[in-house]
Amino acid sequence: MMEELKNKLILKKSIIEKNGNLVRMVTPIIENGEERKVFVEVEKKWAKYLTTERADSVLFLVLPVALREGYDIHCESPVTEMFLHNINEILIPHLALGDKRIKKIKVYAKTESFKIGGKGVGTGISCGVDSLHTVQEYTRGLYPDMELSHLVIASANAELWNTVNSDMYHWESEHKTQFERYNEVCDYTGLPLVKIYSNYFHYVCSKVYKRDWAIYHHLYVHTYITMATVLSLKKLWKTYYFSSTYDFTYFNLNGNMTEDAAYCELLLMETLTVPDFFCFSGGAQYDRADKMRMLMDYPLAQKTLHPCHSDGKMNCTKPWCGKCLRSLIVLDYYDKLDFFKDVFDIEAYRKNHFQYIYWTVHRFHEPHGEAFFKPLYQMILEKYPNDVERAEKNYAWNISTTVSKEQYNAVNRCYEICLKLLQTDNPSQVLTSFFSAKGVEKLYISGQSNFGSTLKQLLSNSIKLYDYKTANATDCDAVLIIDTADSVIEGRKKTIRQRGVNASAIYTIADLQGIFK
């Protein structure tokens, strides 16, 4: 019997569980012989829209797992006929064409073609730039039958997924500040908020389910998780807007297993669209700078815009925070900074203005930086040409040292430590022993520098190394910050501690001096 369950994902029929004013749709999944359960939980008023009749939502959820592990999918409940066609005949073959690591699996299910969709028009409300732009666009009355009727927030959102094995009430109380923003958006627009609490993210991405973050990183699978959550209430919707990150010129299937799912969003939206459910990429025709420009005079954005991952009411406003930077530079260019004083620390921006210019230049020159920072670079070049020239010179210096000239002593200290290490008989063994003695088997590398690249090479054969693309810092035994600028190091330390890493498990190049004591 167990042999028959190998290399299969079996989606059992969904059941409804009630708990006071909360209602869950629970779906048992047999994955390679092991039973797991996924659920979505909503308030009682939305329970009638939970779609147990079709397996569409959970099917879309498990696709990233099946495609990576090579599991055929067997559904006990029917699947919408066109949806099954789109997955088997369009989505899977094209993903496999773009990435040879994708397994050409098959989905088996009975089909139904009668319509069960509702009349609702929805979009997610994270209060980021893309999200608020979609709200702005589809509450203007231009397309009456396609105007938003509902706003959605789900625990699939990056800031909200850390409440596990609980319920909606606990989830909401743990994220009180965020929900205050969401409710303010609802009050302004007059639209109801559909709250969806689930364990969908954890099923696809968590190490509890033996997922390797290197191939199940949130970026690679977020569209599947988000839209699976939306489809769980398929009987509510006729139209849904998925707020886009990139315009369609960035469409790319190459290496899709380990690339941002946003690059193949156009294909995913086509897959999801069936006769009773239309899925559109909201705002795909605009880049992030355009969207920010369109939001500048929008009172709702001035009070609730929160692109940053910080938990507080205010965005972090740090120069090296790409999400804050992308908004602030546009506001600066159009002289609109003071309109957003409720969500950004505008005085800190003005006081440290050159740092924001420098980090715009830095981000622009990073790999893939043009997608977000080319328009911003052109803005600062036009408005602050002298500062850009100075920032370019600093950047040219920093790509070899990662610090400014004023911090020469800090980089020189790192240089001396690395040189002393390389002069030992076996640098790799000496460095590995330093971390092994502290019980470190998995080391998270944060930052970049020439010295750090050398250290990574010395460690790579003996210790498992990870970075933001391959793991969470909390999944590792320790963190090594390889930047050499004191100000950057302190910023990284603070961020890593906020993510839950103990300060005693965070090391810098300067700490390696301990090797020689």
Lookup result for tokens 């036009």: 382
Residues 61, 11: contact at Cβ < 8 Å? no
Q: Which pLDDT value is given to residue 28?
A: 98
Residues 435 and 512: their CA atoms lie apart, in Å, by: 10
Residues 266 and 385: their CA atoms lie apart, in Å, by: 38
Q: How far is CA 48 from CA 42, 320, 362, 490, in A?
A: 10, 45, 51, 50
Q: What is the pLDDT of residues 203-225, one digit of tens each?
A: 999 988 889 988 999 999 999 99
Which of 370, 321, 377 minimizes the C-alpha distance to 345? 321
Q: Which pLDDT value is given to residue 408?
A: 59
Helix/strand/coil for 315:
coil
Residues 444 and 440: their CA atoms lie apart, in Å, by: 10
Which of 404, 428, 430, 412 minimizes the C-alpha distance to 517? 430
Residues 126, 185: contact at Cβ < 8 Å? no
Which of 10, 120, 56 minimizes the C-alpha distance to 272? 56
Lookup result for tokens 């620390």: 345
Please give the full DSSP string across 406-454, using - where no structure is assigned: GGHHHHHHHHHHHHHHHTSS-HHHHHHHHHHTTT-SEEEEES--HHHHH
Q: How far is CA 458 from CA 100, 389, 427, in A?
A: 31, 37, 7
Q: How far is CA 342 from CA 147, 322, 353, in A?
A: 28, 19, 19
Which tokens sit at 258?
A: 């380990």
Q: Which pLDDT value is given to residue 469?
A: 81
What's the pTM value of the predicted model, to 2 decimals?
0.79
Residues 10, 74: contact at Cβ < 8 Å? yes
Lookup result for tokens 């924001």: 356
Q: Which pLDDT value is given to residue 400?
A: 59
Residues 463 and 477: their CA atoms lie apart, in Å, by: 11
In this prediction, the residues of the chain whose per-residue pLDDT falls under 70 are: 1-5, 158, 398-410, 517
CB proximity list for 457: less than 8 A, separation 6 or greater: none
Q: Which pLDDT value is given to residue 409?
A: 64
Q: Which pLDDT value is given to residue 3?
A: 57
Fold for the domain defined by 120-282: Rossmann fold (3.40.50)
How open is the CA angle 157-35-477, to the nearest 5 degrees?
55
In CATH, what number does 408-516 get?
3.40.1010
Which of 452, 47, 88 minimizes the C-alpha distance to 233? 47
Backbone angles phi, psi at 195, to 5 degrees: -100, 130
Greatest C-alpha distance within the chain: 75
Which tokens sit at 199?
A: 């364990």
Counted residue by residue, the chain has a size of 517
Residues 50, 18: contact at Cβ < 8 Å? no
Helix/strand/coil for 283:
coil
Residues 482 and 497: their CA atoms lie apart, in Å, by: 16
Helix/strand/coil for 391:
helix
How open is the CA angle 40-41-43, to the nearest 5 degrees?
145
CATH 3.40.1010 region(s) of the chain? Answer: 408-516
State the distance between the two ends of the chain, measured CA to CA, in whole angstroms: 60
Q: Which pLDDT value is given to residue 513?
A: 83
Q: Which bin fits 358, alpha (ψ -120 to 50), beta or left (φ > 0)?
A: alpha
